[in-house]
Each structure stands twice: as C-alpha cells, then as structure tokens.
Amino acid sequence: MKRATIPGGFGGRLLPAAPKRNAFARAGGCAVESLEGRTLLAATTETFTGGKGPFTSTFEYFNNALYPRGISDGFETIQLTTGLPFQAVSLKLTHMGLDVDPLLAYELVHGLVVQAASARPKNFVRVDMEGSPYTQRTLDLVRELHRKPEGCGCVGAVIQSYMRRSEADIADLLSDGIRIRLCKGAYKEPPAIAYQGKREVDASYIRLMKTLLKSGVYHGLATHDESIIREAQGFVIREKIPREAFEFQMLYGIRRDLQKALVRDGWRMRVYVPFGTEWYPYLMRRLAERPANLGFVVRNMLRG
C-alpha cells in the first residue's frame, strides 16, 4: 500500500495515503474531505494520541446546514472518539438543524452528550459559538443540557472575547460550572455589540482569560497569539495555578512549532481537527464574513 505522512502531522508518523485530499488539506492539514476524510480522521486520531501521546484533540465536522446528513456524521464522530482519552467533538447548532427545527437540534445534541457521558473514559461535546443571532440560543441550550445528570461535565460552550456581552455570559456559565473555550471571534459583528480593534479584543481576551483561570473549572484558551500565550503563562505562574487546570488550544496544521514548544515545556495542548465534505462552503462563508480570516490562516501556516 502506498503510504504518506499526514500534512500537519506530528512526529512523522506514516499513515495510509488517502486517494484524494482537498486544497485546504494540502495547504496545511486543516481539513480533510469526504469518505477518504473519515479514514484520514481515524488515522489522525492515532497520530495525536495513540491513547498515550502528549496532544489531545477535538474533531469538528464541516456540514452546510444539511442536518439529516449531520445526524449520522455527528454520531459517527463521537464513535470515532470513543475509547480514546481526553477526546472531544465540536459542533455548530446550525449544522444540527437549529434553523429548521430547534427541538430536533436539541434532541440530536442531547443524544451526542448521552453517548459522550456513557463512554469510558468519558468524552466531551463542545457546542461551538456562531454569529450573534445565535448567541443566546446557543448558551441557553448548553446550560439546559448541563443541568441534566448526563450532561454535567460532558458539554461545554464557546465564548468570543470580541463580544461586549461576554463578561456577563462567562459569569452565567461559571455559576453552573460549565467548561468554556475562549476565543477571539471570527464573525463580522457591528460595533454596538462587538469590539472592532485588535487592542480592544486582546484586552478583553486577557481580562476574560484571567477570570477563567481563577474559576477552578477546567477551560480551554484558544489562541495562536504568542503575546496572549505568554500573558497566560505569566499569570498562571504568578497566581500559582496548576498547569493541569487548563489547556491551550490551536487548529490542526497552524503553528505546529508553537504547539510542540508548549508541550515540550509542560503545558497542556489540544488540537482542533476540522473535517468533512462541506469544507469549501464553510471556508468561503467565513472569508466573506471577515476577510482578515484569510490573512490569519496564511500568516500562521507560513510560520508553523
């Protein structure tokens, strides 16, 4: 069998070559495609962990709001992660049919959470954040799921630091002990509800980050920004916060050098692995919403 190294993989592990990869995968291993993508995904799981490696991973399925296909693929995703330690699946509610039938979307995500909770060791479902029209509905659903016995500790939310409401949202989520993934935000939002300048967004991120790190709940700091990473490291050391109390998170194939350096220095590192057939509509939609996203990807791929 012809063999090849996964683009963006760690350690040069040789894996079966897929017959076709999309352009995004060739560019840096950020997304993999269709049927062969699922094979590649399973191999990527072994590359990251093999049940014992230093990297943990979260799989995020690309689906273009075609929820019937998202149902089966979403459950397949959680099956792929079952049995591997510290694995997780990330999903968007619109991909689970939120715009078609909110009750159905809730039932689908609840089913995934039940599967995650029943796995040994337990898995985790991260409900990703989308644009502002979905913010409150997303947070309400996460809190409702977390209140259920099977959801406690197995479902979490994402907060975007550029949203002016995020400080209040974090306070609400922490009151329920919900795990949070903190990111800067990638959707174009108006100034009335979102910070526009990098300095403001970064300042908000650092402020929210400190709240999360001191909360006693396990959170994820999603950033490729080295200045923010250094700020987090310094804060953790000064406040004597255990390194195992949180994790850094980055995209698969982006700043691999920085990912390896963090692990080498004893910090926890999670790699997000987007996959699925609908990578192209997803990519075009995100670039149309905020063209600066393209610059971020290109700059960081060239660096790492």
Catalytic (active site) residue 179: no
Task: Give the separation between CA 242 and CA 270, rounded to whole angstroms.
Answer: 17
Four-CA torsion 230, 234, 240, 242, nearest 10 degrees = 10
What's the gap between Cα 274 and its chain centre? 8
Distance spanning both ends of the chain, measured CA to CA: 30
Task: Give the separation between CA 182 and CA 18, rounded to whole angstroms.
Answer: 33
Task: Give the separation between CA 135 and CA 157, rounded to whole angstroms.
Answer: 10
Q: Which of 126, 181, 268, 270 is catalytic?
A: 181
Task: Give the separation between CA 134 and CA 151, rounded to whole angstroms.
Answer: 21
What's the gap between Cα 194 and its chain centre? 21
In 3-state terms, the chain is what percent helix, strand and coil (to 5)? 50, 15, 35
Structure tokens at 46: 């072994």
Residue with tokens 């997780």: 88
Kindly give, in sequence order, each residue whose CB lies less than 8 Å from that of residue 10, ignoring residues fewer than 6 positions away: 47, 48, 53, 55, 256, 259, 260
Residue with tokens 């760690």: 10
Task: Give the separation between CA 43 and CA 47, rounded to whole angstroms.
Answer: 6
Task: Give the separation between CA 17 and CA 223, rounded to whole angstroms.
Answer: 30
Task: Give the separation between CA 183 and CA 288, rounded to whole angstroms.
Answer: 20
Catalytic (active site) residue 128: yes
Q: Which of 128, 169, 202, 225 is catalytic?
A: 128
- Catalytically active residues are 128, 181
